[in-house]
Amino acid sequence: MSIAPLLEVRNLRIEFPTRRGVLLAVDDISLSIAPGEVLGVVGESGAGKSLTGAAIIGLLEPPGRIAAGEVKLNGLRIDNLPYDEMRKVRGREIGAIFQDPLTSLNPLYTVGQQIVETITTHLHVSAAVARRRAIDLLLATGIPAAERRIDHYPHQFSGGMRQRVVIALALAAEPKLVIADEPTTALDVSIQAQIITLLKRLCRDKRTAVMLITHDMGVIAETADRVAVMYAGRIAEIGPVADVIHRPQHPYTVGLMGSIPTFGQDHARLAQIEGSMPRLTAIPSGCAFHPRCPKMFDRCLRGRPDLMPAGTSQASCWLHDPDALRTQGKDSKYFEGDASQINQYNTVLPVDRVAGEKGKPVKYFDGDASQIDHYKTVIRPSDE
Amino acid sequence: MSAVPRPKASPTRTGDDVIVMAKDVAKYFDVSPPWLNRVLERKPRAILRAVDGVSFEIKRGETLSLVGESGCGKSTVARLLVGLYQPSGGAVEFFGHNLREISTAAGRALRQKLQMIFQDPYASLNPRWRVADIIAEPLKAHGLVQDRRAVEARVDELLNQVRLAPADKEKYPHQFSGGQRQRISIARALATHPEFLVCDEPTSALDVSVQAQVLNLMKDLQRDLGLTYLFISHNLAVVHHISDRVGVMYLGKLVELAPKRTIFSAPRHPYTRMLLDAIPDLEMSGRARTPVAGEVPNPLNPPSGCTFHPRCPHANDRCRREAPVFKPTKSGVSQVACHAVEEARI
C-alpha cells in the first residue's frame, strides 16, 4: 500500500489460560487500516472479532492476554504500553463505540459532564470551550435541542439517541481511529440506518479510520472499504468489500454469503454450511474449517493455511495454493504427527473411507474419543 | 411410521381452509402507578395499548409473517394467538372455535394443534432435563402415548425430523449449540402433530449460517407435514425468504398486509417503504438511502390521528386528526391503513 498504515496489527495471538489448558482465541492475525479507511470485520459468534478490537484498545479482560504479536499505531507500538500511557491513547488516539449504549454511559452523570470530561482530559481547553464543543458534537450527531439535552441523564434518552451520544463521546477528542464493536446491533432497522449514515458521514468529514466489527454483512456492504472475514480465531479472507461479497474466494465466505437471505431472487432454500463453528477447546487440526468445508481435500488435514493471494483478495485456503492442488490426492498422509494428540480433535477419518476415496471429500467419524483407538492405525501415515 | 395415531379430521366448523382468524383483537396492559401514588400524587391511570384492533386470517399451509420494530406489538399478537394472553377486546378463532375455549377440557384437542417456538433457545429449554424428557413432555401432558417404548420411538422420530441423532436424547441442553437447541424446541413443538406453529423470532438469536439451517428446516417441515406458520420477525430479509404473506405493524396496529411479492416490490404504506429503505443493501446497487428521521413514539402516549404522522413525509391535517381505517386498496391485493393511499396522493 502506498500510504503508511494508521493501524498495523501483526501476528496477534490472544490466549486464555484456563485450568484445562490454554485456549487460543485469536490465532496469528495480521491486518492494517489506512487513514480514513473503514475496515469491516465480520464473523459469527466466537470468531474472535470482538477480542481483536478489545486487544487493540488495550481492554482485554483478564485472564485473556496478548500472547504474541504487536499492535502499532502511527508506527509506534501500543500493545505494551503501561496502563497510564494507554489511557492517554484511548480516547485521544482511538475512540470506542460498543454495542449497548446504556452500559457504555455512566448513569450517574449527565451526558454533558461525560463528554466535557473526555474533552478536557485529552485536549487542553477550558470547561466553557469544552461545553460549547460538546453541544456542537451532539448537534453534529443529530440530537435536536442539544443545548437543553446536554444536561440530561442517559436514561432520559431513547436507544437510538443514546447511541448518538456514545458516538459523540467517541469522537470528542478527535481520534484518528474509531473501533466500533456492533454499534447498531441493539437498534431497530430504521434507527440502524440513521446511525450508519451518521457514522459514515462523520468519519468521512474528519478522515477518521474505522474498524467496524459486526456480524451483519449488510452493514459492512454499506459502510466498509475493505472487509476481513474471521473464522475460529483466524482471518479466512480479507479484501475489497465488493470483491469479497460478489466473488468470495474462501469456501467459508461462499457459504456465509449464500446463507444470507436477500431480496434479489426467490430462493427455495438458502445455501447452508453444515455444522457449527468449533469451540475453542476443539479447534480441528489442519484448516479449522475443513470438517464443514464442501471442497476439503487431503492437504486441508495437514497444516493451517496462511493468507495467500486469491483473486483480488487474500484467502487462507489451500485451494489457492498451486502446490497443494498439484499434489491433491497423491498424498496419503491423513494425519501427521503423534497419534496421542488425536484425542484433542473430534474429527477423524473412518477406516473404509480412507481406503476407498483417497483425496476426495469424505465423511467424518464424529463421536466418542474413546473409540478413536480403533482408527489410530489407519490414520497414521501412510499406506503408500 | 408414526408412533402416535394422528387425530383424524380437524375440528373445523367454518368448512373453508382458514384455520386462524383474528377479529379486531386487542390487548391492553394496565401500567398505572400504584394506587397510593395515584391518590397522593394525582398520577393518572396509564393503559398501554400493546395491540389495538388487529384483524387477519391465516389459511392452511401458508406462512403469514408479522414485522415491525420493537414495541410494535408483534410478539403480543403471537402470545394472543396461542392463548398465553387473553384478548382485552375482539376474538381469536382457531378452526372456528373461540380461543377462550382452549383452556377448557373440550379445548384439549384444539391445544394439540397449536404450538409455539420461542426466540431464545437458551431460556426455553429446562437445563435440568434431558432432551428426551423435554421432547416427551407434550406427549405425556396430552396423554398421547402410553408406554415408555412408544414414547422413545416417537422421540427418535422427532429427532430425526429435525436432523438430530437419536443418540442426542440422553444429553442435556447445555451440550448443544444455539442452532441445535432451536431444533430441539422445534422437535418439542412438533410432538403433538400440530397444524399451526407460532414462531416468535425463532432465528434472531442465531448466527447467519445457523439461521440458514433453521430456516431451511422450517421450510422442509412445512412442505412435509403441511404446517401453517405465523412467523414473527424484525428481519425483513428473513421474512422475505420464508413468507407467503406479510403484515407490517406499527404501534399496535397493522398498517399493511399483502402477499410477499406485492409488499416487497410495490409497498404502499409510507412506513413499509421506510422499513424497506432502511435495510442495508447487500447487492451494493449503490441506491441512495433516505433514512427517515425520528423514532417510534412512546406507546403510552401515541400521536393523534394516524400514529405514524410525525415521521411521515406525506402527512397532512387529516392524518393528524383522524385515524385511518385498515381496508383493501383499489387493486384489492393489499390492505393498507393510510389516508394518503386512500386519497391516491401516493
**Which residues in chain B touch residue A241, judged by CB atoms under 8 angstroms apart?**
284
Residues B220, B225, B229: CA angle, nearest 5 degrees: 75
CB B10 within 8 A of CB B165: no
The residue ranking higher by pLDDT, B202 or A381, is B202
As for how many domains chain B has, the answer is 1
* Residue B75 grid coordinates: 410478539
CB A315 within 8 A of CB A237: yes
The answer to whether residue A194 neighbours chain B at the CB level (below 8 Å) is yes
pLDDT in tens, A16-71: 998 888 889 999 999 999 998 999 999 888 889 999 999 999 888 888 899 999 99
The answer to whether residue A193 neighbours chain B at the CB level (below 8 Å) is yes
Among the listed residues A366, A43, A32, the one whose alpha carbon sits nearest the alpha carbon of residue A232: A43
Alpha helices for B171-243 (secondary structure H): 178-190, 208-225, 236-242
- Of A184, A207, A224, the position where a domain reaches its end is A224
- Say if B301 falls within a structural domain: yes
Statement: residue A349 has pLDDT above 60: no
**Which residues in chain B touch residue A255, judged by CB atoms under 8 angstroms apart?**
209
What pLDDT sits at residue B59? 93
A337 and A218 fall within a common domain:
no
The residue ranking higher by pLDDT, A144 or A359, is A144
What pLDDT sits at residue A364? 38
- Say if A263 falls within a structural domain: no
- Say if A104 falls within a structural domain: yes
Number of CB pairs, chain A paired with chain B, less than 8 A apart: 114
- Average pLDDT (B125-142) is 92
Q: Over pLDDT 70: what percentage of chain B? A: 92
- Say if A93 falls within a structural domain: yes
Candidate from B238, B283, B284 with C-beta closest to A261 = B238
What pLDDT sits at residue B112? 87
Supply the DSSP string of A165-214, one letter for each residue.
HHHHHHTTT--SEEEEESTTTTS-HHHHHHHHHHHHHHHHHHT-EEEEEE
What pLDDT sits at residue B289? 62
The CATH number covering residue A93 comes to 3.40.50.300
From B308's Cα to the closest Cα of chain A, the distance in A is 13
The residue of B164, B201, B207, B217 whose CB has the most chain A CBs within 10 angstroms, and thus the best one to mutate to test that interface, is: B207
Amino acid at A139: L
In which order are the strands placed within the sheet that holds A308-310? A94-97, A177-181, A209-214, A38-42, A226-231, A234-240, A313-315, A308-310
| Cell 483480488, located at residue | A312
- Of A208, A224, A240, the position where a domain reaches its end is A224
**Which residues in chain A touch residue B282, judged by CB atoms under 8 angstroms apart?**
217-218, 221, 245, 260, 262
- Say if A264 falls within a structural domain: no
**Which residues in chain A touch residue B274, judged by CB atoms under 8 angstroms apart?**
190
Statement: residue A369 has pLDDT above 50: no
CB A359 within 8 A of CB A329: yes
- Say if A25 falls within a structural domain: no
Instruction: Kindly indicate the confidence band of residue A329, based on its pLDDT and cuts at 50, 70 and 90.
Output: low
**Which residues in chain B touch residue A196, judged by CB atoms under 8 angstroms apart?**
280
What pLDDT sits at residue B129? 94
- Close Cβ partners of B161 (under 8 Å, ≥ 6 residues apart): B187, B190, B221
Statement: residue B2 has pLDDT above 50: no
Torsion of CA A82, A86, A87, A92, to 10 degrees: 150
Q: How many CB atoms lie within 10 A of CB A90?
A: 19
The answer to whether residue B292 neighbours chain A at the CB level (below 8 Å) is yes
What pLDDT sits at residue B231? 95
- Say if B128 falls within a structural domain: no
- Average pLDDT (A181-200) is 84
pLDDT in tens, B205-236: 888 888 998 999 999 999 999 999 999 998 88
Chain B residue closest in CA terms to A268: B241
Statement: residue B260 has pLDDT above 60: yes
What pLDDT sits at residue A331? 39
DSSP B168: G
Three-class SS of residue B335?
strand
How many helices and strands, by DSSP H and E, does chain B display? 12, 12
Chain A residue closest in CA terms to B294: A191
CB B212 within 8 A of CB B180: no
As for how many domains chain A has, the answer is 2
What pLDDT sits at residue B295? 77
- Say if B284 falls within a structural domain: yes
A49 and A178 fall within a common domain:
yes
Statement: residue A1 has pLDDT above 50: no
From B179's Cα to the closest Cα of chain A, the distance in A is 8
**Which residues in chain B touch residue A271, judged by CB atoms under 8 angstroms apart?**
212
The residue of B69, B209, B308 whose CB has the most chain A CBs within 10 angstroms, and thus the best one to mutate to test that interface, is: B209
Torsion of CA B9, B12, B18, B24, to 10 degrees: -150
d(CA B134, CA B266) in angstroms, rounded, equals: 44
- Average pLDDT (A160-187) is 89
The answer to whether residue B342 neighbours chain A at the CB level (below 8 Å) is no
What residue numbers bound the domain in which A130 lies? 35-53+79-224
- Say if B66 falls within a structural domain: no
What pLDDT sits at residue B290? 62
Instruction: Kindly indicate the confidence band of residue A166, based on its pLDDT and cuts at 50, 70 and 90.
Output: very high
The answer to whether residue B212 neighbours chain A at the CB level (below 8 Å) is yes
Find the range with the poorest average confidence among A365-369, B17-21, B39-43, B120-124: A365-369
Q: Which of residues 53-112 of B touch A (CB under 8 A)?
A: 69-70
Candidate from B216, B219, B282 with C-beta closest to A217 = B282
Is A218 within 8 Å of B274 when comparing Cβ atoms? no
The answer to whether residue B143 neighbours chain A at the CB level (below 8 Å) is no
pLDDT in tens, B274-291: 888 888 767 655 555 666
Mean pLDDT of chain A: 81
What residue numbers bound the domain in which B306 lies? 271-346
- Say if B290 falls within a structural domain: yes
The answer to whether residue A282 neighbours chain B at the CB level (below 8 Å) is no
Q: How many CB atoms lie within 10 A of CB A216?
A: 21
Amino acid at A159: G
Is B295 within 8 Å of A269 when comparing Cβ atoms? no
- Say if A363 falls within a structural domain: yes
Prediction pTM value: 0.81
Q: Is B256 exposed, middle or buried (0-12, 13-18, 19+ CB in 10 A)?
A: buried
Statement: residue A338 has pLDDT above 80: no
The residue of B208, B216, B284 whose CB has the most chain A CBs within 10 angstroms, and thus the best one to mutate to test that interface, is: B208
- Say if A44 falls within a structural domain: yes
Amino acid at A56: I
Mean pLDDT of chain B: 87
A44 and A186 fall within a common domain:
yes
Amino acid at A326: R
A86 and A210 fall within a common domain:
yes
Q: Which of residues 294-333 of B touch A (CB under 8 A)?
A: 295-296
From B143's Cα to the closest Cα of chain A, the distance in A is 35
pLDDT in tens, A240-292: 999 999 999 999 999 998 888 877 666 678 888 888 888 888 888 889 998 88
Cis amide bond preceding A63, omega within 30: yes
- Of A186, A201, A224, the position where a domain reaches its end is A224
Instruction: Kindly indicate the confidence band of residue B7, based on its pLDDT and cuts at 50, 70 and 90.
Output: very low
Is A261 within 8 Å of B281 when comparing Cβ atoms? no
Is A217 within 8 Å of B264 when comparing Cβ atoms? no
A219 and A94 fall within a common domain:
yes
Alpha helices for chain A (secondary structure H): 49-56, 83-92, 111-122, 127-140, 146-149, 159-170, 189-206, 217-223, 241-246, 251-258, 322-326, 351-356, 373-379
pLDDT in tens, B45-87: 888 899 999 999 999 999 999 998 888 899 999 999 988 899 9
In which order are the strands placed within the sheet that holds B196-200? B114-117, B196-200, B228-233, B63-67, B245-250, B253-259, B335-336, B327-328
Of chain A, the end-to-end C-alpha distance in Å amounts to: 46
* Residue A62 grid coordinates: 483478564
Statement: residue B97 has pLDDT above 80: yes
Chain B residue closest in CA terms to A270: B212
What size, in residues, is chain B? 346
- Say if B304 falls within a structural domain: yes
